[in-house]
Amino acid sequence: MTAPAARPALAPALRDAALAALIALGLFLPLVGLRTDVGPGGGLFLRTRWPDVALLVGVVFLGRLAARLWQDWRAARRGASLPKRLAGPLSRSGRLVAPLLLAFALLLPVIPGIGRYELDLGILVLTYVMLGWGLNIVVGLAGLLDLGYVAFYAVGAYSYALLAQAFGLSFWICLPLAGLLAAFWGILLGFPVLRLRGDYLAIVTLAFGEIIRLVLLNWVSLTGGPNGISGIPRPSFFGLSFSAGGGPGSFADAFGLEPSPTHRVVFLYYLILALALLTNWVTLRLRRQPLGRAWEAMREDEVACRSLGINITTTKLTAFALGAMFGGFAGAFFATRQAFISPESFTFIESAIILAIVVLGGLGSQLGVAIAALGLIGGFEVFRDLQEWRMLVFGGAMVLIMIWKPRGLVGSRTPSVALGQRRTISASMVAEGRG
């Protein structure tokens, strides 16, 4: 508060920071200070990097000291903290965020200065928004913790690639087929795990995701193994192709445009935007229907659901199937966009990122998921200069956001129906499910 009060607090803060620095020294001394390198003879040797250690320890010392002093200062100063004071205006302006984001997403390709790179980034972000929304059905609404969501993404991608290559089917026929196949796998996974709860469910879904990936990796005759599948047909605009040279039957020719590779990118951008919005639309509608309400009720209390005659089995399976279906759509889109897929794109880390988007955004919140996807994936791309450091920053950000906001950015819940005015329900009352 004032200088005399701050003075005695400095000593414990210094002691605390020194302790933190000591621990940091213990952590960094061997692993950072001594680097193992492969020598010319093939043997390993150690290279010392003491300045790096000193730098890190110094950073920890100062960081901890600053954090402590900041905490003390804030504890001394009564009154609402900054986030609390901002909460009111933020929630009021929150109503505007969704339409603004949507308008921005719709207009992105025509905004001047938006080039190929920005559109590609937009496609990437929207893919994750769609995956997040798909997983949100399973985790956010039904409360079923799924750590293997990428399996359905993979099923969708490989389904499209194989169907398109083997039978020459067009994207528009393959897309629903890929979704259906993914939904089928969702049900297949759903059946055995119906009785499992919480972390056990998470682990089984993780294992399932890995099994799918390992099968894709090892079933070389079908999937090409680690080499993946290349030359996947690109999508057409209702039969008009996006060939670079233009020519008869191409998109540019039909509309009398100059052939440009940007056409395809813009088309892909609107395609994924439409797919994502479809996911959102179906989810929002279902939330206001008995099925969606049953999902949320199941998340709140499975036992009570059973006592009301709700069939838990089918309710869980529909959630798995629908979530998987949207994952499959996204997978088919991914395959057609990349024209090349390999098991490397479907590792556990992808599942973890999608789940992180859902949890960081706020379970069950469509807007939160979109913002989290934009922040995480966009941020991840923006920091591409950090190279190998950026995964480190990414993981650290996951930890920090969880500590800062354990219920995610938008933790509150909007009721699906109301007699009078709809009031949001604070996160502290909403259960997160045990399944």
Sites for another protein among residues 345-364 (CB under 8 A): 348-349, 352, 355-356, 359-360, 363
Of residues 10, 45, 54, 93, which one binds another protein by CB under 8 A? 45
What kind and span of H or E run contains 341?
A: strand 340-341
d(CA 32, CA 158): 41
- Could you give the string, one character per residue 213-232, with x where binding to another protein holds by CB under 8 A and - elsewhere? -xx--x--------------
Q: Does the footprint of another protein cover residue 114 (CB under 8 A)?
A: no
Q: Which of residues 393-412 bind another protein (CB under 8 A)?
A: 394-399, 402-403, 406-407
3-state helix, strand, coil in the chain (%, to 5): 70, 5, 25
Nearer to another protein, 3 or 403 (CB): 403
Tell me the closest approach of the beta carbon of residue 132 to another protein, in angstroms. 13
- 234 interacts with another protein by CB under 8 A: no
**Cα angle 195-199-200, degrees, rounded to a multiple of 5:** 45
CB of 368 to another protein, least distance (A): 14
The four Cα atoms 401, 406, 408, 410 give a dihedral, to 10 degrees, of -130
- Smallest separation (angstroms) from another protein to the CB of 80: 21
Please state the three-class secondary structure of 36-104 as a single string.
EEECCCCCEEEEECHHHHHHHHHHHHHHHHHHHHHHHHHHHCCCCCHHHHHHHHHHHHHHHHHHHHHHH
Tell whether residue 42 is a contact of another protein (CB under 8 A). Answer: yes
Question: For residue 381, how many C-alpha atoms fall within 13 Å in the half-sphere facing its CB?
Answer: 15
Minimum Å gap between C-beta 94 and another protein is 19
CB of residue 252 vs another protein: minimum separation in angstroms? 36
Q: Is 103 in the site for another protein (CB under 8 A)?
A: no
Whole-angstrom distance, CA of residue 200 vs CA of residue 202: 5
Residue 58 sits in the site that holds another protein (CB under 8 A): no
Q: How far apart are CA 291 and CA 285, in angstroms?
A: 10
Q: Which of 289, 344, 379, 382 binds another protein (CB under 8 A)?
A: 289
Residues 116-145 within binding reach of another protein (CB under 8 A): 139, 145
Nearer to another protein, 264 or 316 (CB): 316
195 binds another protein (CB under 8 A): yes
Q: Which residues contact 110 (CB under 8 A, 6 or more apart)?
A: none
| Region 11-30 residues binding another protein, contact defined as CB under 8 A | 23, 26-27, 30
Q: Is 54 in the site for another protein (CB under 8 A)?
A: no
Q: How far is the CB of 124 from another protein (least distance, A)?
A: 19
Residue 431 identity: A
Q: Residue from 80, 207, 222, 339 that binds another protein (CB under 8 A)? A: 207
* Ordered DSSP codes for 243-265: -TT--TTBHHHHTT----HHHHH
Task: Say how far apart CA 50 and CA 259 lie, in whole Å.
Answer: 57
133 close to 326: Cβ distance less than 8 angstroms: yes
Q: How many residues bind another protein (CB under 8 A)?
A: 98
Interhelix angle 198-218/171-193, rounded to 10 degrees, is: 130
- Would you count residue 70 as binding another protein (CB under 8 A)? no
Instruction: Quickly list H helices, 77-170.
Output: 82-107, 116-136, 150-167
**Chain centroid, CA 252 distance in Å:** 35
Record the tokens describing residue 115, joined without a space: 């080039």
The yes or no reply on residue 41 touching another protein (CB under 8 A) is no
Residues 6 or more apart whose CB falls under 8 angstroms from that of 384 comprise 390
Shortest separation between residue 375's beta carbon and another protein, angstroms: 14
Q: How far is the CB of 316 from another protein (least distance, A)?
A: 12
| Residue number, 61 or 251, with CB nearest to another protein | 61
Is 302:435 a contact under the CB 8 Å cutoff? yes
* Residue (98 or 188) nearer to another protein, CB: 188
206 binding another protein? (CB under 8 A): yes
Given the rule CB under 8 A, which of 101-109, 227-235, 371-379, 383-391 is the region that contacts another protein? 383-391
**Contacts (CB under 8 A) with another protein, residues 245-284:** 282
Please list every residue from 291 through 350 that binds another protein, using CB under 8 A.
291, 293-294, 296-297, 300-301, 303-312, 318, 348-349
Considering the rule CB under 8 A, would residue 177 count as an interface residue with another protein?
Answer: no
- One-letter identity of residue 115: G
User: Applying CB under 8 A, does 55 fall inside the site for another protein?
Assistant: no
Six-digit token string for 90: 């933020």
142-161 residues in contact with another protein (CB under 8 A) are 145
